Amino acid sequence: MKKDDIHLFRDLYPHWWSETLKSLPAGHVQLLAKLLDQCALIAVDNGDVEPWVMLHFERLEEEHGLFRVYAAPTVDFERWTGGSALALIIAMQFFNERQRLICEVCGLPGGRYCISPDFCRPQKRVTQ
Amino acid sequence: MKRIVVDKLIAAFPLYANLKLLALPDGWLGIVNELFCDFRDLQKMMPGHMPLDPDIQMVAVDWRQYQWPSHLLYVRPVVHHRHWTPEMSNRLVQVVSRFNEFAQHTCEVCGDQSVGILKYQDSRRQQALCQTHMDERRWS
């Protein structure tokens, strides 16, 4: 992740920011932006300004070294609607699953590593 | 939790239990057991579910350690999002919130309802305890 992005996420979402996200590939930054935006909107939709979930990010070896987001709801579950809960699940799964489909370098669809070397000259990351 | 207990949970809930449970307080066995039953039952809410369908993993679990509450449950959905209905999603939110809420009021030694939080003078982490275990520790 670029320095500018780090500052942006830190300012916009201090409650969700985690230092581990610094190593999120540049091409996946948009996925993170969409996830956090969606999570923020869940509170907004329900007329709240405080976040409705806590998020935890972890890079998992068994998931091919991709980031995985976990969530814990923070507000009383009786305030949640089925729609908000489903929106959260879909936002999380899009973030978790789409990393396999989006180029780590240029952020375009077509696989985790771009198929066109002319396009973004992927520096293939060696994953254990 | 002790290894022998964790092994039993792994045998009973192979999709949800793992060695991360070793970090949790002994007294949480009851609520963890209930939690895993709730995860398993989520599958029954899936449209088109048949009673003899094999169990599938609905969520992946992680526990984060904090000063207080001592451990917080986090989940991520694993089964594809097309299988989730609003009712199932809401139920998952409920199950996770309730667990994190109950856990704070559960004696970390025996699982009874806790009466308070014991803060230690040394480096040990604070604990939610029932009356019996509070008394026992306060004077030790």
Q: pLDDT per residue over A44-92, tens digit each?
A: 999 998 999 999 999 999 899 999 999 999 999 999 999 999 999 999 9
Measure Cα distances from A68 to A35, A95, B7, B124 in Å. 12, 8, 26, 31
SS3 B65: strand
Candidates A42, A89, A98: best to mutate against B (most CBs of B within 10 A) is A89
Judged by a CB distance cut-off of 8 A, whether residue B19 touches chain A is no
Question: ipTM of the predicted structure?
Answer: 0.91
State how far the Cα of A65 lies from the Cα of A46, in Å rounded to an integer: 35
Query: What pLDDT does A106 receive?
Result: 86
Give the pair of three-digit tokens for residue A111. 């696989």
- Specify the pLDDT at position B140: 66
Best mutation target among B76, B92, B99 (most A Cβ atoms within 10 Å) is: B76
Distance from CA of A125 to the nearest CA of B (A): 25
Q: Both tokens of residue A6?
A: 């780090």
Task: Give the model confidence (pLDDT) of A99-109 as tens digits.
Answer: 999 999 888 88
Higher pLDDT, A128 or B123: B123
B63 touching chain A per CB within 8 A: no
pLDDT at B88: 97
Q: What is the pLDDT of residue B26?
A: 96
Q: What is the pLDDT of residue A123?
A: 53
Q: Which of A72, A90, A94 sits opposite B73 (nearest CB)?
A: A72
- On the question of pLDDT at A115 being above 90, the answer is no
Residues of A whose CB is below 8 A from B92 = 85, 89
Q: How far is A97 from chain B (nearest CA, A)?
A: 9
Partner-chain residue, chosen from A54, A85, A93, that has the shortest CB–CB distance to B93: A85
- The answer on pLDDT for A118 being more than 70 is no
Please state, for a pLDDT cut of 90, what percent of chain A lies above it.
77
Q: Lowest-pLDDT range, A31-40, A58-67, B63-72, B84-93? A: B63-72
Evaluate whether B88 touches B45 at the Cβ level (below 8 Å).
Answer: yes
Q: How confident is the model at residue A4 (pLDDT cuts 50, 70, 90)?
A: very high
Q: Is the predicted pLDDT of residue A120 greater than 80, yes or no? A: no
Give the pLDDT band of residue A111 (cuts 50, 70, 90): confident
Instruction: For residue A69, list its beta bridge partners.
Output: A57
B77–A92 C-beta distance less than 8 A = yes
Q: Do B80 and A68 touch (CB under 8 A)?
A: no
pLDDT greater than 90 at residue A20: yes
pLDDT tens-digit profile of B6-26? Answer: 999 999 999 999 999 999 999
Inter-chain CB proximity B90 and A81 less than 8 Å = yes
What is the mean predicted confidence (pLDDT) over A122-126?
50
Position A32 pLDDT exceeds 80: yes
Using an 8 Å CB-CB cutoff, list chain B residues near A66.
none
The upper half-sphere exposure of residue A118, i.e. CA atoms within 13 Å in the direction of its Cβ, equals 0
Name which of A37-51, A104-118, B61-75, B117-131 the model is least confident about: A104-118
Q: What tokens appear for A68 in the block?
A: 């995985």
Nearest by CB to A86, from B60, B84, B100: name it. B84
Residue-level pLDDT at B104: 93
Is the confidence at residue A128, as pLDDT, over 70? Answer: no
Question: What Rg value do the Cα atoms of chain A yield, rounded?
Answer: 16
